[in-house]
C-alpha cells in the first residue's frame, strides 16, 4: 500500500487494552512530516455510526495513551466499501479535523466511473467543510 510522503508503518492490528476491554486498530502509521499518528480502520460494508464512534474512540485513546510531547493530534481514516453522505453530514465526522471517511474499490473502475466518483467525493467534502 502506498501512503505517500512521510509515512512510516507502526503496526497492524495494534492492540490497546483498557478497562472497557481489548481493542484492535487495523493499521497504524506515523507521519514524520505532519508529526502525528495516522489510524486506519478497514470496513467491508457501508460505513455506520458505530464505525464512526469506534474510530473516534480509537483516536481519543491513541492521543491519550500513545501521543507524546511534540506530536500533533492523531488522525483517523475509515476506509469502507461504501460511504454515506448522511453519515458525513450528521455524525461526528462533520466538523471534525481528525476523522475522515473514504471509499475503496475491490476492482479497477472505468475512467468514467473514476471521474464520477471523484466528483461525488469532492462534492461531499465541500458540503462537510461549508457547514
Q: For the chain, give every domain's residue range.
A: 7-130
What is the DSSP code (8-state) at residue 59?
Answer: H
- Tens digit of each residue's pLDDT (9 = 90 or more) over 12-33: 999 988 888 898 999 999 989 8
Question: What is residue 71's predicted lDDT score, i.e. its pLDDT?
Answer: 93
For residue 70, give every residue at least 6 positions away whose Cβ sits within 8 Å of its Cβ, in sequence order, or none. 35
Question: What is residue 55's predicted lDDT score, i.e. its pLDDT?
Answer: 85
Fold (CATH) for 7-130: Trna Endonuclease; Chain: A, domain 1 (3.40.1350)
Question: What is residue 86's predicted lDDT score, i.e. its pLDDT?
Answer: 57
Which ranges of the chain have pLDDT less than 70? 1-3, 83-109, 131
Question: What is residue 42's predicted lDDT score, i.e. its pLDDT?
Answer: 84
Question: What is residue 34's predicted lDDT score, i.e. its pLDDT?
Answer: 86
- The residue whose grid cell reads 455524525 is 91
Amino acid at each position: 500500500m502506498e501512503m505517500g510522503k512521510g509515512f512510516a508503518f507502526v503496526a497492524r492490528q495494534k492492540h490497546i487494552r483498557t478497562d472497557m476491554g481489548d481493542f484492535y486498530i487495523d493499521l497504524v502509521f506515523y507521519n514524520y512530516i505532519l508529526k502525528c499518528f495516522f489510524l486506519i480502520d478497514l470496513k467491508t460494508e457501508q460505513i455506520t455510526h458505530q464505525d464512526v464512534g469506534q474510530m473516534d474512540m480509537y483516536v481519543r485513546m491513541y492521543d491519550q495513551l500513545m501521543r507524546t510531547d511534540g506530536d500533533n493530534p492523531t488522525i483517523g481514516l475509515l476506509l469502507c466499501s461504501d460511504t454515506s453522505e448522511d453519515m458525513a453530514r450528521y455524525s461526528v465526522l462533520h466538523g471534525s479535523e481528525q476523522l475522515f471517511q473514504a471509499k475503496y474499490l475491490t476492482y479497477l473502475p472505468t475512467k468514467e466511473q473514476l471521474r464520477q466518483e471523484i466528483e461525488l467525493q469532492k462534492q461531499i467534502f465541500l458540503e462537510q467543510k461549508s457547514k
